[in-house]
């Protein structure tokens, strides 16, 4: 779910700039900035008009990868069929499983200091 939300954010960032290739968007920057926003609870209630580009999107635009990337040295290959790490055929449970999730939220008056930028 988190991955899909981050990819949606990356798509919004790419759509905000015509001609921007999705390959230039750093998933690492997107993930770290989103984690910082969650940890510090910043930008939860935006004071300004909401746009497609949130603070994590602006951080991605500041740290775009180079337009030219070196080509692959080797072609991608399929996994060796004789590998000892075979597929998990028949390993999945036949019935649904239920899980309980409990969370405790602590509100910190001063919050946390943001992570220093590189």
Reported confidence tier of residue 69, pLDDT bands at 50, 70, 90: confident
What confidence tier does 42 reach under pLDDT thresholds 50, 70, 90?
Answer: low
Domain with 52 in it: 2-62
| Residue 30 belongs to a domain | yes
104 within domain boundaries? no
Which pLDDT value is given to residue 82? 72
Q: Is residue 53 part of a domain?
A: yes
Q: Show contacts of 57-61: CB within 8 Å, 24+ apart.
A: 57/9, 57/12, 57/13, 57/16, 59/29, 59/30, 59/33, 60/9, 60/10, 60/13, 60/25, 60/26, 60/29, 60/30, 60/33, 61/13, 61/16, 61/17
Q: How many domains does the chain have?
A: 1
Is 81 inside a domain boundary?
no
Label residue 79 by pLDDT band (50, 70, 90).
Answer: low
Assess if residue 71 is contained within a domain. no
pLDDT bucket at 108, cuts 50 / 70 / 90: confident
Q: How confident is the model at residue 112 (pLDDT cuts 50, 70, 90)?
A: confident
In-domain check, residue 25: yes
Is residue 19 included in any domain, yes or no? yes
| 45 assigned to some structural domain | yes
Rounded to whole angstroms, how far apart are CA atoms 81 and 84? 9
pLDDT at site 54: 73
Could you tell me the pTM of the whole model?
Answer: 0.51
């Amino acid at each position: 779910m988190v991955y899909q939300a981050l990819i949606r954010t990356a798509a919004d960032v790419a759509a905000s700039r015509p001609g921007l290739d999705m390959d230039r968007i750093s998933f690492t920057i997107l993930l770290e900035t989103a984690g910082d926003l969650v940890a510090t609870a910043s930008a939860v209630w935006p004071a300004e008009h909401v746009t497609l580009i949130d603070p994590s999107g602006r951080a991605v635009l500041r740290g775009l990868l180079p337009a030219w990337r070196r080509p692959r040295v080797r072609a991608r290959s399929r996994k060796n069929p004789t590998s000892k790490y075979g597929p998990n055929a028949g390993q999945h449970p036949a019935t649904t499983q239920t899980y309980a999730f409990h969370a405790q939220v602590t509100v910190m008056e001063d919050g946390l200091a943001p992570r220093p930028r590189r």
